[in-house]
Each structure stands twice: as structure tokens, then as C-alpha cells.
Amino acid sequence: MARIIVVTSGKGGVGKTTSSAAIGTGLALKGHKTVIVDFDVGLRNLDLIMGVERRVVYDFVNVINGESNLNQTLIKDKRVEGLYILPASQTRDKEALTKEGVQKVLDELSETFDYIICDSPAGIEQGALMALYFADEAIVVTNPEVSSVRDSDRILGILASRSKRAEEGLEPVKEHLLLTRYNPERVERGDMLSVEDVCEILAIKMIGVIPESQAVLRASNVGEPVILDENSDAGQAYLDTIERLMGNEVEYRFLSGEKKGLFKRLFGG
């Protein structure tokens, strides 16, 4: 049985797709067979960030409609063994994602994959609801600013009330906070919320802090997930995040200005 992890946020443009690509790739690097599913029907860009846009033939909606099978549709990554992408359709709208259809595809993927990473669209409509509905775990991507934190809170409420696990009274979806585009200088100047502020408001367990980084832009321009840029700060922060997702304790980096001791007290347990 695969672990189904949704990467979600409510707010748009906070780094969901960047994070889905990095985390999916990182899990495959660790030897786990992983598929990243693009739920952003109509606005697909996971394939761009993964650099596979020229190899897309069929898409998620084709599979749901029975117009293609998974073998024909999954795109195998050429850099990392055991990494696959299920691209979204550019030409349909989000209503094409029905609960039955999504369930059918996820069930089939579950048979062969260890991890299914669901890249959610922004918002709280059909596409986002379908991306989170079947999740076992959620990575809530948040930027250190008030509107993003509010939207993350909203998404946490939806996870707690409208996911399959909530509806069926199963163990709740496991929630992780991923703080992205973190800029310590701007935090110190008071332009942005600090790690502590965000944690106090959202009150869920943190899994990573990704700094605002030029490396992300560079990576997306060449179609290579930033985690493969091992020398970059963002790449390393994503690698640390993978360790924590595997249950290992790793010290936080790239929070300059933060005192390590304080940080450990807050989140190290």
C-alpha cells in the first residue's frame, strides 16, 4: 500500500509544485518508488518543472476516462530511478476529476508505488478537494505571510472535516507544515512572519523550512527539480525535509538569525 501525500496550501503560488517535484524526487533518490500526480487540471506545470513537458502524450483525465492506461500515460524520469510523473490535462477543466475516477487511478497506482505525491491546485474547489480527499498525509505549504497562513488554516480545517479519513472516521490525515520562501532578513526586519509565529498560529508539526532562493528559479528554468542541485540552500533544505518525512531528526538550517537552542526547544521535542 502506497503512502498518499497531498501537497496543498489554499493560496496560490506558494511553492506547491516546486515542493511536490522536490519531495517526489527526493523520495525516489532514497530508493522509494514514487509517482507525482498533477491535480492542477487546466494549468499543468508539474511537467515543466520536472522537464518532461515534451514527453506528455496522455494525461490523468485520459486515464480516468479510460482513454489510455497507466502504462501509456506515466512518464518515467530519466535522471532518477523509480520516479514517475502523471501529468494533468491542459485542455479539460477540474470537474473532469470525479471522486470515483480519482479513486480508481489512485487504487491502481497504490498497487505498485511506495509513495503517491498529489500536487494540488490552489483554492478550495473541486481540484483541490480531489487532491486531498484520499490523502493519508498532507504537506501544507505556507509562506511566512498572514494571507498564506490563513489559507493554510482553512485547508487544515478542510482536511479535518472533508477528507475521506474524516468522513469515514478513520485516523485523521497526518499534517506537516512546510514553510517555503523563507527570508530570514525580511523576518528580522519584521516584514515577514517568523517560524515561531507561523507555528503558533497553525499548531501542527513542522517538517521543513525552505529558504527563498535563486536556485529554485534556475532549477525551474532548466526543468530540473531543485533537490538535484545538492549544493544549493533550497536543495539541501528539501533533502533535510525528506529525512524528516522518513522519521529522522535533522537540525534546521538556513534560518540564520534564529538561535538553534530555541528552535530545538520549540520543535525538536
Partner 1 sequence: MSDSPIEFKGSAFTLSVLYMKSSDLEAVKQQLAIKIKQAPQFFNMAPLVINVARLNDPAFDFAALKAMLTSLQLIPVGISGASDEQKGPAKAAGFACLSESKTANTVPEQEHTQIRYERVEVPVEVEVPVQKPSQVLRQNLRSGQQFYARDSDLVIIGTVSNGAEVIADGSIHIYGSLRGRAIAGAKGDDSAKIFAQKIEAELVSINGHYWTSEQIDKSFYKSPGCIALDGDKLTLTKLEV
Q: Which residues bind ligand ATP (CB under 6 A)?
A: 9, 12-18, 40, 121-122, 180-181, 210, 212-213, 216-217, 220, 234
Comparing CB distances to partner 1, the nearer of 147 and 256 is 147
Among the listed residues 2, 7, 15, 17, the single contact to Mg ion using CB under 5 A: 17
Paired residues of 21 in beta bridges: none
Instruction: Indicate the pairing of strand 83-86 with strand 75-76.
Output: antiparallel
Rounded Cα distance between 179 and 215, Å, is 17
Contact 206, 199 (CB under 8 A): yes
Q: Quick one: 73 or 180, whose CB is closer to ligand ATP? A: 180
Q: Which does 158 bind (CB under 5 to 8 A by kind): Mg ion, ligand ATP, partner 1, none?
A: partner 1
Interface residue with partner 1, options 161, 231, 247, 269 (CB under 8 A): 161
Contact status: 20 vs Mg ion (CB under 5 A): no
Least spacing, CB of residue 10 vs partner 1, in Å: 9
String marking each residue 101-140 x if it binds partner 1 according to CB under 8 A: -----------------------x----------------
Contact characters 169-188, Mg ion, x per CB under 5 A: --------------------
Q: Which does 34 bind (CB under 5 to 8 A by kind): partner 1, Mg ion, ligand ATP, none?
A: none
Beta strands in 73-149 (DSSP E): 75-76, 83-86, 115-119, 137-142
Question: Which of 42-74 are b and which e, b meaning 16 or more Cβ less than 10 Å from the residue's Cβ?
Answer: eebbbbebbbbbeebebbbbbbbeeebebeebb
User: Which residues make Cβ contacts (< 8 Å) with residue 44, sequence separation at least 6?
Assistant: 38, 59, 87, 88, 89, 90
Q: How far is Cα 164 from Cα 133, in angstroms, rounded to an integer?
A: 5
The residue count for binding partner 1 (CB under 8 A) is 12
Extended strands (E) in 157-268: 174-182, 205-211
16 binds Mg ion (CB under 5 A): yes
Contact present, 124 and 133 (Cβ < 8 Å): no
Q: Between residues 142 and 194, which has the closer beta carbon with respect to Mg ion? A: 142
Per-residue cell: 163: 477528507
Q: Where does this chain bind Mg ion (CB under 5 A)?
A: 16-17
Q: Where does this chain bind partner 1 (CB under 8 A)?
A: 124, 150-151, 153-154, 156-158, 160-161, 201, 203
